Amino acid sequence: MDIATIIGLLGGTSLVVSAIIIGGSALIFINVPGLLIVLGGTFATNFIKFSMKDVLSSMKVAMKAFLVKLQPADEVIEEMIKFTRIAKKEGLIALEKEAPADEFSAKALRYLSDGYDEGLIEDMLNKDILLTVQRHDLGRRIFKGMGSTAPAFGMIGTLIGLVQMLANMSDPSSIGPSMAVALLTTLYGAVIANLVCMPIADKLQMRSEEELNQKKIILDATVAISRGISPMVLEEALKVYLSPKDRDKVGEKKE
C-alpha cells in the first residue's frame, strides 16, 4: 500500500473540512443540487469521451495509486542476476522451478525455460509492455479528463445558480439557496479536480513510469540470459537503470 497517497488524500480532505468547521456551520456547505451538477456532469462527460467499460475499469486502475507498491529497481536487478546464475549453473530448464512474485518476471522465465527463441521472447515481452502502457495511459487520461471537467461543471452550476437568483429577485427567500448553488458548485468542482482527480492522474503516470522501468530491466535481463551473458556483465549493464547513489546497493547482499 502506498502510504503517501493515503496521507495526502486524507490530509488534504482534513484541512478542507477543518477550515469549513472552524469557519462556522458545515451544513451550509452541503448542497445536493450542486453535487449532482458537478459529479453527474463530470461522469456523464467522460461517458461521452470514453466507453462506459473504460470509465468503470479506470476506477480499478486508480486503486494502483493506493494499493500497489512496486518492488524497488535494485531488488529487481538482484533477482534477475540470481536467475542468471541459476541459468549459468544449471541451464535454462532450471528456471521453471523459480516462482517470482511478479507476473511479468514469471512469464519471462517461462519463455526461457520453454526454450523460446531470443527474438520471439523479446517481441512477446515488448508487446506485453506496450499493452500495459496503453492501459495505464487510458486510466490516466480518464482521470485527467475528470480533473479538467469538474471545474467546468462547477462553473455551469454557478451560472445556473445566478440565473435562478436573477430570475427570482422579487422573492428574497430564493436568493440565498440560488447563490449557494452558484458558489458551492464552483467549490465542489475545484476540490474534486485538485484534491482527487488530477493528483490521482499524476500518481498513475508516475506508477506507469516506474512499472515501465521495472519491465525494461526484466526484459533486458531475460534477453541477456538467453544470450548466455555472465551475471557480472549483466549486473553492470542493469545498473544504468539506477541512480548513482543506488548502484552500490546491487551486489551488497551477495557480499
Query: In the predicted model, what is the mean pLDDT of residues 19-46?
Result: 85
pLDDT of residue 255: 44
Lowest mean pLDDT, pick from 32-36, 47-51, 249-253? 249-253
Domain assignment of residue 206, yes or no: yes
Q: What is the pLDDT of residue 69?
A: 74
Written as nine digits, the cell of 74 is 535494485
**Residue numbers of the domain that contains 146:** 31-73+118-249
**Grid coordinates representing 70?**
512496486
Name the nearest CA neighbour of 88 among 234, 223, 228, 219.
Answer: 228
In a domain, 144, yes or no: yes
Give the integer Cα–Cα distance in Å for 102 and 95: 14
Residues 117-159: tens digit of each pLDDT? 889 999 999 999 999 888 888 889 999 999 999 999 999 988 8
pLDDT in tens, 36-93: 899 999 999 999 999 888 888 887 777 766 677 778 888 899 999 999 999 999 999 9
Helix (H) or strand (E) holding 20: helix 3-23
- Residues, the chain: 255
Does 93 map to a domain?
Answer: no
In a domain, 39, yes or no: yes
Q: Is residue 106, in this structure, part of any structural domain at all?
A: no
Please check whether residue 44 lies inside any domain of the structure. yes
Predicted confidence at residue 38, as pLDDT, reads 92
pLDDT at 105: 92
Confidence of residue 6 (pLDDT cuts 50, 70, 90): confident
pLDDT at 61: 74
What pLDDT is stored for residue 98 in this prediction? 87
pTM of the model: 0.80
Evaluate whether residue 124 is within a structural domain.
Answer: yes
Of 5-9, 20-24, 56-60, 185-189, where does the model show the most confidence?
185-189
pLDDT in tens, 187-224: 999 999 999 999 989 988 888 888 899 999 999 999 99
Evaluate if residue 252 carries a pLDDT over 60.
Answer: no
Domain count, the chain: 1
Greater confidence (78 vs 161) lies with: 78
In a domain, residue 242? The reply is yes
Burial 201-224 (b: 16+ CB within 10 A, else e): bebbbebbebbeebbbbbbbbbbb
Q: DSSP 3-state assignment of 88?
A: helix
Q: Is the pLDDT of residue 247 over 90?
A: no
Q: Comparing 127 with 27, which gets the higher pLDDT?
A: 127
